[in-house]
């Protein structure tokens, strides 16, 4: 049981490049989400999904795309990287759509630098 | 949507003293309030949570209190130890996904 697995852990991108951050969970969680963490800003929600085929925007969705073709996977795509997207990205998951009192589990994080 | 305010942003205490971190929320529909601890370079990890039908919850040296009328909740750490040094986040969730406060950096001075 690996929990929530994110790859890559570290990535450097040039402005304008695209890339995908991978997230997978093996706990059969319906709810998955992506947060970004910036100094002094806490954890801000980018996109989330309450089940396969369903996604929705969070607080800071611009510049990011997601899809949820399976229960296990929830990749985050940066379409055209900008320096403002330099951040630490966390994938998280939980049972039952994320709206009840179920523990949210975080992946180890992905450190992204855009130059 | 939900808005969570967290204070203070930094907190220094002497080892053995108590630490208190306070949060307020805006959405009266919020009913779940977890607290996460994040050590440097690591992922946030749940340390304690409270639901809206409970006013207080304790787990060894950690306690949380919830005042639904005033829409605020607090984390209390007693007998602090150097390993309690970390960033602590409060969060709230009801009909929306989990919303986090901006965090409190706690330093426990030996």
Q: pLDDT tens across B67-84, in order?
A: 999 999 999 999 999 999
Instruction: Determine the residue of chain A that is closest to B5 in CA distance.
Output: A42
Instruction: Determine the residue of chain A that is closest to B87 in CA distance.
Output: A42
- A77 near A64, Cβ under 8 Å? yes
Compare CB distances from A40 to B1, B89, B102 and report the shortest one's residue.
Answer: B102
Could you tell me what percent of chain A has a pLDDT over 70? 94
Please report, for residues A80, A89, A104, B19, the alpha-carbon distance to residue A6 in angstroms, rounded to integers and kept in the order given.
20, 9, 15, 33
Please report, for residues A35, A113, B17, the alpha-carbon distance to residue B95 in angstroms, rounded to integers and kept in the order given.
18, 33, 37
Cβ–Cβ contact A95 with B under 8 A: no
- Which residues on adjacent β-strands are paired with residue A57? A47
In chain B the first and final C-alpha atoms are separated, in Å, by: 41
B98 versus B17: which is more confidently predicted? B17
- A36 near A46, Cβ under 8 Å? yes
Give pLDDT, residue A98: 46
Instruction: Determine the residue of chain B that is closest to A6 in CA distance.
Output: B43
Of A40-49, B15-24, B44-53, B92-101, the least confident: B92-101
* pLDDT reading at B53 higher than 90: no
For residue range A40-75, list pLDDT tens digits in order: 888 999 999 989 999 999 999 999 999 999 999 999
Best of B43, B59, B92 to disrupt the A interface (most A CBs within 10 Å) is B43
* pLDDT reading at B91 higher than 90: yes
| Residues from chain A contacting residue B94 (CB–CB below 8 Å) | 99
Q: φ, ψ for residue A51 (rounded to 5)? A: 170, 170
Cβ–Cβ contact A106 with B under 8 A: yes
**Mean pLDDT over the full length of chain B:** 94
**Mean pLDDT over the full length of chain A:** 92
- Interface contact B100-A101, CB threshold 8 A: no
Give pLDDT, residue A101: 64
- Interface contact A107-B51, CB threshold 8 A: no
Please report, for residues A9, A98, B18, B35, the alpha-carbon distance to residue A4 in angstroms, rounded to integers and kept in the order given.
13, 15, 33, 19
- According to DSSP, the β-strands at B32-38 and B86-92 are antiparallel
For residue range A76-93, list pLDDT tens digits in order: 999 999 999 999 999 999
| Residues from chain B contacting residue A40 (CB–CB below 8 Å) | 9, 102-103
- Interface contact B43-A33, CB threshold 8 A: no
| Residues from chain B contacting residue A96 (CB–CB below 8 Å) | none
Cα A63 from chain centroid?
13
Nearest-CA distance from B51 to chain A in Å?
7
- Interface contact A42-B101, CB threshold 8 A: yes
- Interface contact B9-A40, CB threshold 8 A: yes
Alpha helix stretches (DSSP H) within B32-87 = none
Copy the structure tokens of residue A62. 């611009």
């Amino acid at each position: 049981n690996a929990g929530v697995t994110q790859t890559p852990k570290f990535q450097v991108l040039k402005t304008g490049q695209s890339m995908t951050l991978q997230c997978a969970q093996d706990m059969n969680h319906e709810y998955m989400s992506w947060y970004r963490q910036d100094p002094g800003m806490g954890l801000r929600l980018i996109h989330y999904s309450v089940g396969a085929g369903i996604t929705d925007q969070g607080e800071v969705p611009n510049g990011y795309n997601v899809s949820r073709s399976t229960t296990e996977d929830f990749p985050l795509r940066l379409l055209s990287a900008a320096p403002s997207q330099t951040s630490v990205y966390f994938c998280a998951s939980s049972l039952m759509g994320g709206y009840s009192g179920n523990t949210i589990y975080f992946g180890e994080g992905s450190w992204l630098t855009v130059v | 949507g939900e808005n969570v305010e967290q204070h203070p942003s930094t907190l220094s205490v002497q080892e053995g003293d108590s630490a208190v971190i306070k949060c307020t929320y805006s959405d009266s529909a919020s009913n779940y309030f977890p607290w996460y601890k994040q050590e440097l370079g690591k992922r946030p990890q749940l340390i304690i949570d409270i639901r809206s039908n409970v006013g207080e919850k304790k787990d060894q040296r950690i306690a949380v209190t919830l005042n639904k009328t005033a829409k605020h909740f607090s984390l209390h750490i007693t007998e602090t130890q150097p390993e309690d040094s970390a960033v602590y986040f409060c969060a709230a969730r009801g009909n929306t996904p989990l919303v986090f406060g901006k965090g409190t950096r706690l330093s426990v001075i030996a």
